[in-house]
Amino acid sequence: MDKTTRIAVGGDRPYDVLVGRDLLDPPQLLPGAQRLAVLYAPPMRGRAEQLAERARMAGVTPLLVEVPDAEAGKHIEVAASCWERLGAAGFTRADAVVGVGGGAVTDLAGFVAACWLRGVRWVPVATSLLGMVDAAVGGKTGINTAAGKNLVGAFHPPAGVICDLAALDSLSPADLAAGMAEVIKCGFIADPVILELVERDPAVAVDPAGPVLRELIERAIRVKAQVVSGDLRESGAREILNYGHTLAHAIEKVEGYRWRHGHAVAVGLVYAATLALLEGRLDAQTAQRHRAVVGALGLPTGYRAEAWPDLLATMRVDKKARGSVLRFVVLAGLAHPTILEAPSDELLHAAYREIAE
């Protein structure tokens, strides 16, 4: 039997992230729950049904709720339809929500739970790499709107997080690579050992059957757990987890949410490094390391030149902006994140020209 790792997340409402194989028991994390709404998208139907069966065996009544896959599920109308289902089933504050899937489904499930009766318990069962290392941990929940990515949401910590490594066996190579973008983000902002493990052999690093991926997952979760333990509501330190995301979210919006989040983050990391290099804050070697690691994972390192005006306009509604002042997370050195306040449009554009295709 494979061992389960427990990573503690602190704060006012502490919980554990469980990392292991064949973990399918959210009711254990939800004592007293009588009903569980199990939200899932079609690719994870089998896993959701298995989980529902396990809940039934534990004396808990499951309500299976299928939602559209990926970003199509992070929509107010989908959330509203979930609330209708909870209402029809008479969900009370004793009951709970479980999201089984990638980051999109767990973001939606957390948001549905955050708003129902002003907040019921929830557990994300992360099935994608990105979900395990990032989306399921930390209590940020939300949906997209016409105005932008994740602009509506709530901070609502889960009762616990389940990362079932067995799920990764069926994840596509493109989604594995997307998850690696958030893993290396953690390497650049806080844990350079992550970068060394990836650089040693990128193909081995992303192999779910190999010896390295689990260590990378646990390292990335520890970085996130440590940051959010001290700053759930992103009043300061948590902003470092947004490294690469100012441009990434703009690319996602310009692409109509058809790009993978992790792919957009990959471009955003290279952009943020270039910005810091041109501003004189980051050395050329560390900036170049971004491009090399991102490229070695088969992730994109640039974006369309002609998209710049749209990207700049979208970045102005980034959550880190204050009034008309844009703010970027940039590195002043490896594992030394800082905030770049009010960069000029000339600097922003010059950095973009370096990554434009």
Interface residues with ligand LNCXM5UN (CB under 6 A)?
Answer: 134, 138, 140, 150, 182, 234, 238, 241-242, 245, 319
3-state secondary structure labels for all residues of 88-103: HHCCCCCCEEEEEECH
**Nearest CB to ligand NAD, comparing residues 153 and 343:** 153
Q: How many residues bind ligand NAD (CB under 6 A)?
A: 30
Helix axes 284-296, 173-189, angle to 10 degrees: 160
107 forms part of the interface with ligand NAD (CB under 6 A): yes
Among ligand NAD, ligand LNCXM5UN, none, partner that 167 touches (CB below 5 to 8 angstroms by kind): ligand NAD
Contact mark string toward ligand NAD, 127..146, x via CB under 6 A: xx-xx--xx--x-x------
Q: Is 314 in the site for ligand NAD (CB under 6 A)?
A: no
Written as one letter, the residue type at 293 is V
Residue 25, annotated as binding a ligand: no
Interface with ligand NAD, residue 167, by CB under 6 A? yes
Contact status, residue 270 vs residue 251, Cβ threshold 8 Å: no
Q: How far is the CB of 235 from ligand LNCXM5UN (least distance, A)?
A: 11
Residue 182 labeled ligand binder = yes
Q: Based on the shown chain and the rule CB under 6 A, indicate whether residue 170 belongs to the binding site for ligand NAD.
A: yes
* Residue 286 counted as an annotated binding residue: no
Task: Give the C-alpha separation, 158 to 206, whole Å.
Answer: 27
Q: Residue 74 touches which of ligand NAD, ligand LNCXM5UN, none (CB < 5 to 8 A by kind)?
A: ligand NAD
The amino acid at residue 201 is: D
Beta bridge partners of 148: 145
Residue 51 or 278 having the CB closest to ligand NAD: 51
Q: Is 104 one of the binding residues for ligand NAD (CB under 6 A)?
A: yes
According to CB under 6 A, which one of 69, 199, 231, 310 is a site residue for ligand NAD?
69
Q: Comparing C-alpha atoms, which of 131, 110, 139 is closest to residue 122?
A: 110
Cβ-contact 86, 29 below 8 angstroms: no
Helices (H), 190-332: 192-200, 202-205, 213-230, 245-254, 261-278, 284-296, 308-315
Instruction: Provide the minimum distance between the beta carbon of 185 and ligand LNCXM5UN in the complex, in angstroms, as a whole number.
Output: 7
**Residue 74 assigned as binding residue:** yes
Among residues 103 and 202, whose Cβ is nearest to ligand NAD? 103
CA separation for the pair 296, 304 (Å, rounded): 20
Nearer Cβ to ligand NAD (170/344): 170
**In b/e form, how buried is each residue of 125-154, taking b as 16+ CB within 10 angstroms?**
bbbbbbbbbbbbbbbbbbbbeeebbbbebe
HSE toward the beta carbon, residue 78, CA cutoff 13 A: 25
Phi, psi of 337 (to 5 degrees): -75, 145
Q: Which is nearer to ligand NAD, 177 or 351 (CB)?
A: 177
Would the annotation count 320 as a binding residue? Answer: no
| Helix, strand and coil percent figures for the chain, each rounded to 5 | 50, 20, 30
Contacts with 136 (C-beta within 8 Å, 6 or more apart), sequence order:
17, 103, 106, 124, 125, 126, 158, 161, 163
99 annotated to a ligand binding site: no
Q: Which is nearer to ligand LNCXM5UN, 71 or 182 (CB)?
A: 182
* CB of residue 350 to ligand NAD, shortest distance in Å: 28
Name the residue nearer to ligand LNCXM5UN (CB basis): 131 or 343. Answer: 131
Q: Exactly one of 262, 268, 337, 343 binds ligand NAD (CB under 6 A); which one?
A: 262
Q: Is 219 in the site for ligand NAD (CB under 6 A)?
A: no
Question: What pairs with residue 219 in β-bridges?
Answer: none
Residue 280, annotated ligand binder? no
Count of residues making up the chain:
357
Q: Which residues are annotated as a binding site?
A: 69-74, 103-107, 127-128, 140, 149, 182, 245, 261
* Residues at the contact surface with ligand NAD, assessed by CB under 6 A: 41, 43-44, 69-71, 74, 101-105, 107, 127-128, 130-131, 134-135, 138, 140, 150, 167, 170-171, 175, 178, 260-262
